[in-house]
Structure 1
Amino acid sequence: MSVQTLIDQVEAHLLIPLVGPKCANRLAQFDVHATDCIKLFISKGLGLGIVLGSSILKVPQIVKIVSAGSARGVSFVGYLLETLSFAISLAYNYRGGNPFLTYGEMAAIYVQNIIVSLLILAYNGKYAGLILLSLFLAGFSYALIDPTLITPQLLTTLQMSTIFLGIASKLPQIYNNFRAKSTGQLSAITIFLQFAGSAARVFTTVQEVNDPVILVGNVVAFALNLVIMQQVLIYRKSKVAGGHLPDYQKRKSPKLD
């Protein structure tokens, strides 16, 4: 196979599906002045990487909880609010017709967040809450997709609220980590992937989505993930287990955060 044939194959099967025929042709010709096309290609590549990576984003967290037989240190309130935020944003982007690679990871993370939330309830013996949460999320997800139940105007308002939901979802986890001087059963791998993904998502949003509401939400998510990432690095040597529980945990029985 000649070099030109290989370039033609890459253009036809990789570049055109990602950036369209016009940019694909300029990139295949190694046009260094096609800055808009280069940025679009980087954005699409990052978006694809985020979507693929998101399929296993919370798997380390799930494995860590199951292996430890405990969800200690993982905030139920934080996960619940984050799950609601992802459900709203997923519906908003889908119904708004935004490119899939600018939001596709939300679907995978949404499902994984539900699994983590259910595990937290299960390991705390809250089986009735587990059933109620499952029913609520099923109904809420259906309503978000149906425009006769949630109008476009209401969905826009809900999307704006995700900025505050995002803040509220992370603050309990940040506070728990600070109070315990430990990140408990939080997975460092998951936290790092969230941090890297949120940073990349800010770039892809700027390049491909002309929606300030989505951009502000992504910037806020990046800032909060940065804080938690720093906590993981600071507290990584702090182990709170067995007889080394902090005093506040020794004095009272575990409760859902």
Structure 2
Amino acid sequence: MTSITRNLPWFIRDLGISIVGKECYTSLIENLDISDVKCIKYSISKGLGIGIVLGGSIVKVPQLLLIVRGRSARGLSLPAYILETLSYAITLLYAYRNEFPFSTYGENLFLTLQNVIITILIILYSPSKSPSQQTQSKTTTLTLTSLLLLTSLLTCSLLPLPLLALLQLTTLPLSLSSKLPQITQNHRAQSTGQLSAFAVVAQILGCAARLFTTATEVGDSVVAAGFVLALVLNVVLGVQLWMYWGNDEVKVEEEGEKKIKARASPAPVSNSTATSVPAYKPEPAGQRAGSPRPASPSLGGRKWARKVD
């Protein structure tokens, strides 16, 4: 068997060496040494890393399609996506400046780009009271958001490496702040709106795999802590998706308004408690004063007399 693996075509050999390195390629592929635990772990990490990078290039596409098809960003938090984009961008620049393998951080490039597009769509599809306010508000928000993102990226790319390492620490509170608005909004509305279940599940699996690849190839505790926090928060979003599955935010709001109106409206008067006042009927012209009136059938045959002074 080793005679075959040692004589594979050059392009397969070069591809294998570029992925796992010459040492592990020789041990696992050419010599078929399955007892080399170190190279096995490294190869699994590389495979997971490449899969995460490829998955990261499309993980937000379902979310984009949901917004565009529905022409609505209902249920999506704008502050959450702005903070999440900053966190992805900082991690991307930190890993690039430290010359980490691209397979350990490459998905951050695609996630940053996709998040920028989603942020723009949230602004464009946000509801406003009047057309004039709508155009002005959206233009202002879009301009400020673009300036914020561009300024942050330029600042991070020009910072010295020690300061960039300190900035990487800020991705922990950024990750927390980016998920809390979305989690709070879901809880308040009892619905996840246009939030994509595929994107949330993919992020949960990606964070779990990233913990393994970071520990195997990088060993950076700051980066690993960021993935731990992101995993916990994504799991919370996943639980909310399960709890509120099928709930429509619009229906929840309408039911709430109906309950408020029902409490505010007065209770209807029951027929059993209402007292009826008999209507006054004038006496017939031919009837003499003081003479008894004929019995009324509605009063059970009782005779009523009117005394006139």
What are the equivalent positions in structure 2 for 1:217-236 lying under 5 Å apart? 217-236=226-245
**Any idea what the Cα deviations from partners look like across 1:116-161, whole Å, max 9, x if unmatched?**
1111111124222112222332232122112xxx222221111001
Where do residues 137-156 of structure 1 align in structure 2 (5 Å cutoff)? 137-146=149-158, 150-156=159-165
Q: TM-score, normalised by structure 2?
A: 0.74
Q: Is the 8 A contact 1:11 1:25 kept in 2?
A: no
Q: Which of 141, 144, 148 is 1:136 aligned to?
A: 148
| Matching residue within 83, 86, 107 for 1:105 | 107
Point out 4+ residue stretches in structure 1 off by more than 6 angstroms.
none
Alignment of 1:54-69 (within 5 A): 54-69=56-71
> For residues 240 and 60 of structure 1, what CA distance do their matches in structure 2 show?
20
Q: Distance in 2 between matches of 1:208 and 1:5?
A: 26
CA distance in 2, matches of 1:132, 1:237: 35
Q: Which amino acid aligns with 1:108?
A: F
Task: Please identify the structure whose Cα radius of gyration is greater.
Answer: 2
| Gaps in structure 1 of 5+ consecutive residues | 252-257
* 1:45-56 mapped onto 2 (5 Å cutoff): 45-56=47-58
Q: CA deviation at 1:19?
A: 1.0
CA distance in 1 between counterparts of 2:18 and 2:111 reads 24
CA-atom RMSD in angstroms: 2.2
Letter matched to residue 90 of structure 1 = L
Shift of 1:235: 1.4
Count how many residue pairs are aligned between Structure 1 and Structure 2. 246
Residues 76 and 228 of structure 1, relative CA distance in 2, 3 Å threshold: same
Per the normalisation by structure 1, the TM-score is: 0.89
CA 1:173–1:15: 2 relative to 1, 3 Å: same
Aligned match of 2:220: 211
Question: Gapped runs of 5+ residues in structure 2?
Answer: 127-133, 261-309
Confirm whether residue 88 of structure 1 aligns to residue 90 of structure 2.
Answer: yes
The structure with the largest helix share of the pair is 1
- Separation in 1 of the partners of 2:15 and 2:192? 41
What's the offset of the Cα at 1:20? 0.4
Q: Deviation digits for residues 140-198 of structure 1, max 9, x if unmatched? A: 2122112xxx2222211110010111011111111111121211000111111111111
User: For residues 175 and 255 of structure 2, what CA distance do their matches in structure 1 show?
Assistant: 28
